[in-house]
Amino acid sequence: MKHEAPIVRLFFARMKPAFFQLSDQEQRQFMARDRANLDALGMKAICMVDVIKSDSDWEYIGVESWPSAQALVERERFESDELQISQYVEYKVELGIEQSFEEYGRT
């Protein structure tokens, strides 16, 4: 079996007013369902940055490592069909493969 390189997903997110119209319990349930799916699919959080006070376009920027392209396909389906995430979160994602920065600029 061929081993797939982990895929890095960079995301930018801002909560929509609809999220804040949910009760506290509904917000917690939304986040718990979201987290359970992330964990089940093997996502590893590399970094989450709160930029609410410094960036006018986004509230959060995150970097995640995913075990495979299939895991991301399943995640996108969950976000769309189950969470209906676009109703509650404005977001943008970029996908790539991790590269080392160790040798950058060194001769």
Contacts of 1 (CB under 8 A, 6+ apart): none
Write the pLDDT tens digit of every residue in 24-66.
999 999 999 999 999 999 999 999 999 999 867 899 999 999 9
CATH label of the domain that carries residue 58: 3.30.70.1030
Question: Which residues span the domain enclosing 77?
Answer: 7-97
Structural domain count, the chain: 1
75 within domain boundaries: yes
102 within domain boundaries: no
18 within domain boundaries: yes
61 within domain boundaries: yes
Closest listed residue to residue 78, CA positions, set 45, 43, 48: 43
32 within domain boundaries: yes
Interior CA angle at 12 toward 8 and 17, to 5°?
A: 140
59 within domain boundaries: yes
Which pLDDT score, from 0 to 100, does residue 43 have? 97
52 within domain boundaries: yes
